[in-house]
């Protein structure tokens, strides 16, 4: 048999096998491809809906936070108006008490009350008698606060009072003293039952905000998207009016209860199979679900498979005809191509001139397939040579960019206090640790002396990562150092930094931050928290989270006010500050390290020096995370009074 006949026979057999295999494989996999595309499409829809629900949920929470601050500020303003009016009129004590009694009646008409003590003795009882039975979270009542606890003659004192019985009301009080009458203590009290009710998540409000999203989705989506509550499994909102069910069927409820997170399942309901994708939104206890009848997915897949089968048969017939026509000329021209291809394989591809000379002679004249193959190989040789040149250039650019990122990392870390310069003395020992998740990050800390006795401790976390977070972090730490150095109180520092960062912040980045100023001789401190992780006070036999009132993160909204609190750290006690990169460190199972593990580690190592304590916490975090990639910056700061 001649070579061309052998080539024809081999080419024909190979063509039959190849086209037949491709056609059969394509036909067999059409259904699977359509199903997989449908599942991927459902996941995309679920992710979009989850983002919409998340956005409405956090918008709702932000409105609540603003209302709380507005209520507190309004109560303080009313108290200041009353105090200023009394200061302008020279009352004797009898006239003063009569005036306060009249003011109480006026305030009662607008839902407020007034309580007055003189020399720790109650002289004006509240109109709302259940105020006497209300206690704060620290188990203090209003009268005790006025007569014993409240000693300041300048700043007011907020106290939230709760009644344990369901039928009695809860109150927010603002206590203050009169400048001209130092023996009098007053408390302006407001009923906050309505204010407390806003903390109950209003499903109907959030659903109302989502209706437009679902109405638009119903016109675009093949299938149905819906939201169901996690308690009763009732459908709360759907993209189409016609649903196969109103309450989730038992099979779907079982799947939802055992699988949290983004999942795909197949559901059989009333002799119909459905492709279902769902996600669990924990804050609202909602399930976000999409479903589509499997018959709608498989039917077009089967029709397309038949078309592919017909095309395969036609291609097979054409391939046999072309095989006969090409067999006569294929051998000679293929040998030329093979020879030139060998020459190209021995040529240095980084030399474009040498490659071009060979590929020009490789291009055969003609318009048949062999000529096209020769021209394609010639183009491929030139393209490979070009790509080699581009790859070499790209490697140089990558090395230069990596060098710049490394330099940026060194500059950023250089802004932090070096380990050998962290303030430590015979009265206080301090240690700190920071490692970014990327080349540069958004975490920071700072420790420095304000004067001979006071040390400032600061830790923060920018809402993003990478270069943008590093720039925001550098601006924040510069503002912290410059404002604290002026002797400004921590709460005012927060307000100044918030004002500066929010001026030009188009990306709405924000920073959680904690500032504490400690007198190393007395242990007395004053601190302010802007949405940061709670500090941990470490004693010999007790671990305490300092959970005093925290303000919002700085940088997002201008005009916010921040509070501060004070206390004393005794000798031998330590304070640990950390960012959420520690508590939210994840392992391969996507489990979080958690605050409880931090507290347990501090308790079992409470007597260690700060540096050793930080090493213990880091060892626990690294052991928990294993080989899983670090997802966030990790920062720790600890000091101990000696």
Alpha carbon distances (Å) from 83 to 115, 143, 146, 156, 638: 14, 20, 16, 11, 43
C-alpha–C-alpha distance, residues 398 and 73, integer Å: 54
129-143, 204-218, 319-333: least confident range:
319-333
Whole-number CA gyration radius for the chain: 37
pLDDT band at 19 (very low <50, low <70, confident <90, very high): low
Residue whose pair of structure tokens reads 């990306």 in the numeric block: 507
CA-nearest of 191, 198, 193 to 63 is: 198
Query: What pLDDT is stored for residue 290 in this prediction?
Result: 87
Q: What is the mean pLDDT of residues 203-224?
A: 78
Is residue 419's pLDDT more than 60?
yes
**For residue 493, what pLDDT is reported?**
94
Q: Report CA 245 to chain centroid distance, whole Å.
A: 35
* Parallel, antiparallel or unpaired: strands 171-177 and 184-191: antiparallel
Give pLDDT, residue 638.
96
Least confident segment among 260-264, 350-354, 571-575: 350-354
pTM (2 decimals)?
0.43
What average pLDDT does range 228-247 have in this prediction?
83
pLDDT computed for residue 410 by the predictor: 66
What are the structure tokens assigned to 76, written together?
Answer: 């303080």
User: How many residues in the chain?
Assistant: 642
Report DSSP state, residue 531. B
Q: Are strands 428-435 and 634-641 parallel, antiparallel or unpaired?
A: antiparallel
In the structure, what pLDDT confidence band is assigned to residue 286 with cuts at 50, 70 and 90?
A: confident
> pLDDT at residue 342 above 80?
no
Higher per-residue pLDDT: 225 or 31: 225
What mean pLDDT do residues 367-382 have?
A: 68
Q: Which residue has the higher pLDDT, 30 or 584?
A: 584
What are 106-145's pLDDT values in tens digits?
A: 999 888 999 999 988 899 999 988 888 888 877 888 887 8
Residue 407 pLDDT more than 60?
no
Q: Strands of 104-180 (E only): list them.
A: 112-118, 121-124, 157-161, 171-177
Spatial neighbors of 617 by CB under 8 A, at least 6 apart, are: 576, 578, 582, 598, 601, 602, 636
CB-neighbour burial class of residue 83 (10 A; exposed 0-12, middle 13-18, buried 19+): middle
Predicted confidence at residue 31, as pLDDT, reads 72
Q: Is the pLDDT of residue 437 over 70?
A: yes
Mean pLDDT, to the nearest integer, of 518-526? Answer: 94
pLDDT confidence band for 146 (50 / 70 / 90):
confident
Q: Which of 323-327, 351-355, 438-442, 460-464 has the weakest average pLDDT? A: 323-327
The CA-atom distances, in angstroms, between 596 and each of 513, 600, 603, 621 are 21, 6, 11, 12
Q: What share of the chain is helix, strand, coil (3-state, %, to 5)?
A: 50, 20, 30
What are the residues facing 409 on neighbouring strands? none
Could you tell me where the DSSP H helices lie in 486-562?
490-503
Q: What is the mean pLDDT of residues 136-159?
A: 75
Q: Are 419 and 433 in contact (CB under 8 A)?
A: no
DSSP 247: B
> Could you tell me which residues are beta bridge partners of residue 431?
638
Phi-psi region of 208 (alpha: psi -120 to 50; beta: other; left: phi over 0): alpha
User: Is pLDDT above 90 for 266?
Assistant: no
- Identify the pLDDT of residue 529: 95
Report pLDDT for 533: 94
Where b means 16+ CB within 10 Å and e means fewer, 539-557 reads eeeebeebeeebbbbbbbb
CB 119 within 8 A of CB 146: no
Backbone angles phi, psi at 471, to 5 degrees: -65, -45
Residue 586 confidence class, pLDDT cut points 50, 70, 90: very high
pLDDT class of 520 with cuts at 50, 70, 90:
very high
**Residue pointed to by tokens 């999942």:** 263
Question: 2 falls in which pLDDT band (50, 70, 90)?
Answer: low
> Would the pLDDT of 65 be above 90?
no
Lowest pLDDT segment from 180-184, 260-264, 494-498, 511-515: 260-264
CA distance 160 to 142: 9
Residue 452 main-chain phi, psi, to 5 deg: -65, -25
What 3-state DSSP class applies to 599?
helix
Lowest mean pLDDT among 231-235, 289-293, 437-441: 437-441
The percentage of residues in the chain with a pLDDT greater than 90, rounded to a whole number, is 27
Is 561 exposed, middle or buried, given 0-12, 13-18 or 19+ CB atoms closer than 10 A?
Answer: middle
Longest CA span, the chain: 131
Give whole-number Cα distances, 623 to 585, 600, 619, 620, 626, in Å. Answer: 11, 15, 6, 5, 5
More confident residue, 606 or 252: 606
Residue with the larger pLDDT of the pair 467 and 557: 557
Contacts 24+ apart (CB under 8 A), 244-248: 244/269, 244/270, 244/272, 244/274, 244/291, 245/269, 248/287, 248/289
Mean pLDDT of 173-192: 88
Report the pLDDT averaged over residues 208-224: 78
H-only helix segments in 193-293:
193-197, 203-220, 250-258
Contact 526, 564 (CB under 8 A): yes
pLDDT at 609 over 90: yes
As a whole number, mean pLDDT of residues 600-605 equals: 92
In terms of Cα–Cα distance, which of 315, 308, 320 is closest to 25? Answer: 308
pLDDT over 80 (residue 467):
no
How far apart are the C-alpha atoms of 533 and 391, rounded to whole Å? 46
- Integer angstrom CA distances of residue 137 from 160, 186, 267: 8, 21, 49
Q: How far apart are CA 475 and CA 354, in angstroms?
A: 55
Task: Give tens-digit pLDDT for 531-546.
Answer: 999 999 998 778 999 9
C-alpha–C-alpha distance, residues 483 and 487, integer Å: 7
**pLDDT attached to residue 402:** 61
Burial label, 225 (beta-carbon count in 10 A; 0-12, 13-18, 19+): buried
């Amino acid at each position: 048999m001649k070579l061309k006949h052998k080539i024809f026979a081999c080419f024909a057999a190979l063509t039959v096998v190849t086209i037949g295999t491709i056609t059969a494989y394509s036909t067999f996999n059409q259904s699977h491809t359509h199903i997989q595309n449908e599942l991927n499409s459902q996941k995309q829809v679920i992710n979009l809906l989850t983002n919409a629900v998340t956005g409405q949920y956090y918008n709702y929470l932000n409105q609540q936070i603003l209302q709380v601050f507005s209520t507190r500020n309004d109560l303080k303003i009313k108290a200041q108006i009353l105090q200023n009016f009394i200061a302008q009129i020279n009352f004797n004590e009898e006239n003063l008490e009569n005036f306060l009694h009249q003011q109480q009646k006026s305030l009662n008409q607008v839902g407020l009350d007034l309580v007055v003590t003189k020399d720790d003795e109650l002289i004006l009882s509240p109109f709302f008698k259940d105020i006497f039975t209300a206690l704060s979270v620290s188990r203090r009542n209003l009268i005790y606060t006025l007569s014993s606890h409240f000693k300041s003659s300048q700043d007011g004192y907020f106290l939230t009072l709760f009644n344990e019985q369901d039928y009695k009301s809860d109150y927010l009080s603002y206590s203050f003293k009169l400048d001209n009458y130092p023996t009098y203590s007053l408390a302006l009290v407001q009923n906050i039952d309505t204010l407390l009710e806003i903390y109950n998540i209003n499903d109907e409000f959030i659903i109302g905000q989502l209706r437009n999203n679902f109405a638009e989705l119903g016109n675009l989506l093949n299938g149905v998207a819906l939201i169901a509550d996690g308690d009763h499994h009732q459908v709360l909102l759907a993209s189409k009016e016609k649903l196969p069910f109103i309450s989730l069927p038992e099979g779907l409820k079982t799947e939802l209860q055992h699988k949290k997170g983004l999942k795909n399942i197949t559901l059989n309901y009333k002799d119909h199979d459905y492709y279902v994708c769902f996600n669990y939104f924990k804050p609202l206890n909602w399930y976000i679900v999409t479903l589509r009848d499997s018959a709608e997915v498989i039917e077009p897949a089967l029709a397309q498979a038949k078309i592919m089968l017909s095309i395969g048969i036609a291609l097979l017939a054409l391939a046999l005809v072309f095989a006969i026509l090409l067999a006569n000329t294929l051998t000679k021209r293929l040998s030329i191509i093979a020879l030139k291809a060998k020459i190209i394989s021995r040529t240095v591809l980084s030399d474009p001139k040498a490659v071009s000379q060979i590929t020009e002679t490789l291009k055969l004249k003609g318009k048949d397939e062999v000529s096209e193959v020769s021209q394609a190989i010639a183009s491929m040789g030139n393209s490979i040579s070009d790509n080699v040149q581009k790859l070499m250039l790209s490697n140089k650019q990558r090395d230069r960019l990596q060098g710049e990122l490394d330099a940026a990392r060194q500059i950023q870390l250089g802004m932090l206090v070096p380990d050998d310069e962290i303030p430590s003395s015979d009265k206080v020992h301090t240690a700190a640790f920071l490692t970014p998740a990327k080349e540069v990050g958004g975490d920071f800390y700072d420790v420095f002396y304000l004067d001979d006795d006071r040390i400032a401790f600061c830790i923060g976390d920018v809402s993003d990562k990478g270069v943008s977070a590093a720039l925001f972090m550098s601006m924040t730490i510069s503002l912290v150092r410059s404002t604290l150095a002026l002797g400004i109180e921590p709460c005012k520092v927060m307000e100044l930094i918030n004002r500066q960062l929010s001026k030009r912040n188009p990306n709405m980045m924000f920073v959680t931050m904690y500032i504490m100023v400690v007198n190393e001789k007395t242990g007395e401190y004053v601190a302010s928290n802007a949405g940061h992780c709670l500090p941990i006070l470490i004693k010999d036999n007790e671990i305490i989270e300092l959970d005093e009132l925290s303000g919002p993160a700085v940088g997002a909204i201008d005009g916010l006010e921040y509070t501060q609190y004070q206390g004393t750290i005794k000798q031998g006690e330590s304070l640990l500050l950390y960012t959420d990169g520690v508590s939210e460190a994840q392992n391969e199972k996507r489990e979080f390290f958690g605050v409880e593990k931090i507290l347990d580690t501090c308790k079992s190592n409470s007597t260690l020096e700060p540096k050793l304590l930080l090493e213990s916490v880091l060892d626990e975090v690294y052991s928990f995370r294993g080989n899983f990639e670090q997802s966030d910056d990790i920062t720790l700061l600890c000091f101990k009074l000696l």
